[in-house]
Amino acid sequence: MTHDLPYSQACENNKAPILEQLKAIFNAPGTVLEIGTLTGQHAVHFAQAMPHLQWQPSDHPDAVHLCRARLEQAALPNILPVVELDVSDARWPVDTFQWAFSANTAHIMSWNDVEQMFHGIGERLPKDGAFCLYGPFNNQGEYSSDSNRRFDQHLRAQAAHMGIRDLVDLRALAESAGMTLTENLAMPANNQLLVFKR
């Protein structure tokens, strides 16, 4: 670990189990759009392990600076220059990609931004592509664990627009964006990897 770079312990903890699942999904050459690159730990780990991919990091204009130093230090040939992406702006800087990936963003974004993320991906995702969304999720209003209940309360105390999203709502949102939830993969620490396809 490089201590002077922005760092997320959660990313460090979950990058290996996420990679194991992504290898089976992102299994051919293509570009992956990552929404919410944050510290860049996922981008570097996944791009190193899957050299057949072109990894396109992106983040909100207010946060895009957090990943730059790590990505520059890694200097991997298959990581593209990071772009500023505000999902609520209809003019995305990336129009062509095979797959999309986002981790721990849906509970931080406003619900309107979650809707815009799904619709933006749905408009651009090819028929043989997939959108993988990682994080904690509820199911029909039920928390998957006490720790997720506490986490949700913590989020909502920080800002009213944040909170753990429900699978029922995400499934309906995906369908409105032309996608279907095809896999719900259980992950460590009461998280899930949701796979949406056209």
Where residue 38 sits, what CATH number does that domain have?
3.40.50.150
Please, what is the average pLDDT of the chain? 96
Kindly state the percentage of the chain with pLDDT values over 70.
98
**Is 155 inside any structural domain?**
yes
- Interhelix angle 41-49/65-74, nearest 10 degrees: 30
* 1 part of a folded domain: no
2 found inside a domain: no
Within a domain: 175:
yes
Radius of gyration (Cα) for the chain, nearest Å?
16
pLDDT in tens, 85-132: 999 999 999 999 999 999 999 999 999 999 999 999 999 999 999 999
Say how many domains are in the chain. 1
The pLDDT score that the predictor gives to residue 64 is 97
Question: Which sign, positive or negative, has the C-alpha torsion 144, 183, 30, 124?
Answer: negative
Burial 155-185 (b: 16+ CB within 10 A, else e): beeeeeebbbbebeebbebbeebbbebeeeb
Instruction: Decide if 172 is inside a domain.
Output: yes
Enclosing domain of residue 191 = 9-197
On whether residue 107 sits in a domain, the answer given is yes
Q: Please count the helices (runs of H) and the strands (runs of E) in the chain.
A: 6, 9
In a domain, 3, yes or no: no
pLDDT bracket for residue 3 (50, 70, 90): low
Determine contact, residues 14/187, Cβ cutoff 8 Å. Answer: yes
Q: Between helices 167-176 and 111-124, what is the axis angle to 10°? A: 40
In a domain, 4, yes or no: no
With cut-offs at 50, 70 and 90, classify the pLDDT of residue 76.
very high
- The reported pLDDT for the residue numbered 16 is 98
Is residue 180 pLDDT above 60, yes or no? yes
Kindly indicate the confidence band of residue 4, based on its pLDDT and cuts at 50, 70 and 90. confident
Burial of 83 (0-12, 13-18, 19+ CB in 10 A): middle
CA–CA dist 130, 98 (Å, integer) = 7
Mean pLDDT across the stretch 167-190? 97
Q: Residue 1: is its pLDDT beyond 80?
A: no
* Sheet strands (E) in 60-190: 83-84, 99-103, 130-135, 137-138, 165-166, 180-187
Does the pTM surpass 0.95? The reply is: yes
Nearest to residue 82, comparing CAs of 51, 36, 118?
36
Token pair in block for residue 126: 């090819």
Cα separation, 4 vs 25, whole angstroms: 33
Q: Which residue has the tokens 């933006």?
A: 120
**pLDDT tens digits, one per residue of 22-61:** 999 999 999 999 999 999 999 999 999 999 999 999 999 9
